[in-house]
Amino acid sequence: MLSYLAFGSNLGDSLATLKKGRTLLAERSDISLLASSKLYETKPYGDVVQDDFLNGAILVETSLTPEELLTAIHQVEADLGRQRMIHWGPRTLDIDILLYGDEKIDLPILKIPHVELTKRSFVLIPLKDIYREKNLLGEPIDYWINASGNQNEVKLSTKEW
């Protein structure tokens, strides 16, 4: 199944952490990396004072179920020092499942499409780099980027992964 994942980091060496997280997922036999977005520097989302984030997105093909993919992602986050202490707070690595094929999932631990997807330019802009479909949730992706109202907080980074 094709799945789009969002990556973000604003603690420690964010670039190295994003690269390592992507590599750890791609090294698995049940996940194949198909594409990576450019990287973007973004203002933090929410009301917690913190450093800017480095964000990107990847497209993978996986034989994992959505729940298994979430478990694999949580393991990579934990292996790279992720601690869940402050909601929308600073983090070494945050990986979110944005889309999993055309599936709609509404579980207490997993919502697909990601519940905040259309509100976050820091996710939508990297996603646009690799998105293969004409429309996202019934509209062109640029519609959602413009509707988010925070697209000016996302800047193309000179860093590459």
Active site residue 28: no
Question: Residues 4, 36, 93, 145: is their CA dihedral positive or negative?
Answer: negative
Active site residue 129: no
Q: What is the spatial distance between Cα 90 and Cα 44, in angstroms, rounded to a whole number?
A: 8
Residue 48 has pLDDT above 70, yes or no: no
pLDDT of residue 31: 98
Among the options 52, 91, 106, 120, which is catalytic? 91
Domain 2-156 has CATH 3.30.390.30: no
Among the options 79, 94, 129, 142, which is catalytic? 94
pLDDT of residue 63: 98
Q: CB neighbours of 107 closer than 8 A, spacing ≥ 6?
A: 67
Active site residue 84: no
**Candidate from 40-44, 74-78, 129-133 with smallest mean pLDDT:** 40-44
pLDDT of residue 43: 82
Q: What is the spatial distance between Cα 3 and Cα 99, in angstroms, rounded to a whole number?
A: 5
Active site residue 22: no
Which is more confidently placed, 87 or 90? 90
For range 133-142, the mean pLDDT? 95
Among the options 28, 96, 129, 132, which is catalytic? 96
The predicted-structure confidence for 1-38, as pLDDT tens digits, reads as follows: 999 999 999 989 999 999 999 999 999 999 999 999 99
